[in-house]
Amino acid sequence: MASYFGISFSFVFLATLLSPAVSQSSSCSSQTFSGNKSYPHCLTLPDLKAFLHYSYDSANTTLSVVFSAPPSKPGGWIAWAINPKSTGMAGSQALVASKDSKTGVASVTTLNIISYSSLVPSKLSFEVWDVKAEEVANDGGALRIFAKVKVPADLAATGKINQVWQVGPGVNNGRIEAHEFSTPNLNAMGSLDLTGATAGVPVSGGDGNSRVHKRNIHGILNAVSWGLLFPIGAIIARYMRIFESADPAWFYLHVSCQFSAYVIGVAGWATGLKLGSESKGIQFNSHRNIGIALFAMATLQMFAMLLRPKKDHKLRFLWNIYHHGLGYSILILGIINVFKGLSILNPDHTYKTAYIAVLATLGGITLLLEVVTWVIVLKRKSANSTKPLKA
């Protein structure tokens, strides 16, 4: 049963790795600009329904860009950035456009994103001018950023730059609110050929794809471990032991299930640590702290098995209290953290519904077995009480 539920749920989450990108209804050719401005190169970016029109003057290394995208929510923001040193958002030099909630006027703010935790307006590390923003007419609230950028000499020499783009839900007291961490958001980066040789060809998410892949693996491992195998192992221990014919088979099934869950959980925990080290500034504190607590508690539980007293030992009662209490704590925290992980991964609602359905099934089985267990226990007590006393 453990293998069936674990494999089934793994396939559900593996589906998130294979989900196709949503195609865009617009195209480069449909974009027009005020003042009959035109740009020789255009990219229909593969994520977040974004477009980039640009021209490049190699003589003075000036890049003229128009970035267009709809914010993730009405009143939200859009951003286009160049990262001179790496491929992600950390370290990038960003242009962020948003509309003033009172006046409705769109404007651009520059951000030198030293880290994900430092998102305050600041000057960029290179020159930028002719910066403005506008709302795209008849396009569902989409915004545009216009700018001219002095490409640093070392980047101009390569003929390529690392670009990053993003959309977010809003601006609060001058600070942009965090964007989602779904697959399209994490994939929104790539290389831009300044010469336009690859214009019209979708750019690759690169590290973003790798990061999404690792996040999905992390989610699968932990959902199967803490969210499925540990609960199934607890069910085996509580309800199979009541059947005398199942002794000691129930014990070995319980240990096998929990040990498998522990090994898979440690692998998931390790991938989480790796993701954390590669995403400095992005922190999900409660999810991380619960994960660390689960690893520590499960490790204690594994070592406690080596110190398990015999059934007739005077300390066995205390050991049972410790073992059961810690076990149920792991079970509850594990399920809570799976839901926290789902909210972070933000997959389609179908996957969360599927996990809830699996938990409901396990809950129904648990309720049924609980009734059966009490019926058997009461019958045994009744039978023992009616036995005649020996002379």
Sheet with 93-99, side-by-side order of all strands:
106-112, 93-99, 77-83, 160-168, 189-193
Q: Say whether 323 counts as a known binding-site residue.
A: yes
Nearest to 290 by CA among 339, 362, 325: 339
121 secondary structure, DSSP code: B
7 secondary structure, DSSP code: H
- Check if the beta carbon of residue 290 is closer than 8 Å to that of residue 336: yes
Q: Which two tokens stand for residue 301?
A: 């539980």
Q: Say whether 324 counts as a known binding-site residue.
A: no
Consecutive H or E run containing 108? strand 106-112
Residue 43 makes CB contacts below 8 A (sequence gap 6+) with 28, 51, 52, 54, 192, 199, 200, 201, 202, 203
How many residues comprise the chain? 391
Alpha-carbon gap, residue 222 to 228, rounded angstroms: 9
Q: Say whether 349 counts as a known binding-site residue.
A: no
Residue 206 makes CB contacts below 8 A (sequence gap 6+) with 87, 189, 190, 191
Q: Say whether 218 counts as a known binding-site residue.
A: yes
Binding residue ranges: 218, 254, 287, 323
Binding residue ranges for heme b: 218, 254, 287, 323
